[in-house]
């Protein structure tokens, strides 16, 4: 399968916590980062998700937020790292962050946000993704 989502992380399912309607799926990437996804219980069953199964966490670049400094957030997925590239367009920029675990996250954010946060290669930052924005593929 080929898709346009820039962020695709291979790994293994660590756990599946089933609820009545949704499940929380935890995937450990090959790079060692832990990604949490909230998906429907129906999708868990259709994909046969269980601990130990290989899978891919898929996240659109527009769903990846970039933050700097200390932050207290409800978002389950917060990956510390360093900005390695900022590619500015007319309105938005594509920001690439390499996590301490070695994975690379791509984020599409506004030029205004890039300037307000002082984002540039070498700046320490976090990639932040809500668990509901993570898709799981097998």
Which pLDDT belongs to residue 18? Answer: 97
Q: What angle do CA 69, 74, 75 make, to 5 degrees?
A: 80
> Of the candidates 43, 40, 57, 49, which has an alpha carbon nearest to the alpha carbon of residue 5?
57
Rounded CA-CA distance 131/76 in Å is 6
Which pLDDT belongs to residue 1? Answer: 77
Domains in the chain (CATH in brackets) are 7-59+132-137 (2.40.50.100), 61-129 (2.40.50.100)
Rounded to the nearest 5°, which phi and psi values hold at 114? -60, -45
Which pLDDT belongs to residue 137? Answer: 97
Which pLDDT belongs to residue 126? Answer: 97
Give me the DSSP letters along 71-128: ---S-SEEEEEEEEEEEE-SSEEEEEEEETTS-EEEEEEEHHHHHHHT--TT-EEEEE
Q: Which residues of the chain have pLDDT under 70?
A: none
Which pLDDT belongs to residue 37? Answer: 98
């Amino acid at each position: 399968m080929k898709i346009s989502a820039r962020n695709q992380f291979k790994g293994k399912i660590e756990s599946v916590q089933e609820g009545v309607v949704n499940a929380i799926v935890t995937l450990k990437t090959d790079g060692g980062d832990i990604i949490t996804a909230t998906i429907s219980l129906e999708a868990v069953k259709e994909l046969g998700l269980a601990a130990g199964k290989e899978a891919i966490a898929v996240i659109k670049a527009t769903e990846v937020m970039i933050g700097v400094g200390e932050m207290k957030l409800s978002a389950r997925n917060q990956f510390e790292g360093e900005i390695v590239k900022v590619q500015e367009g007319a309105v938005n920029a594509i920001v690439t962050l390499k996590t301490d675990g070695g994975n690379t996250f791509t984020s599409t954010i506004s030029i205004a946000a890039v300037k307000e946060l002082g984002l540039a290669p070498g700046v320490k930052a976090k990639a932040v993704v809500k668990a509901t924005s993570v898709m799981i593929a097998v």
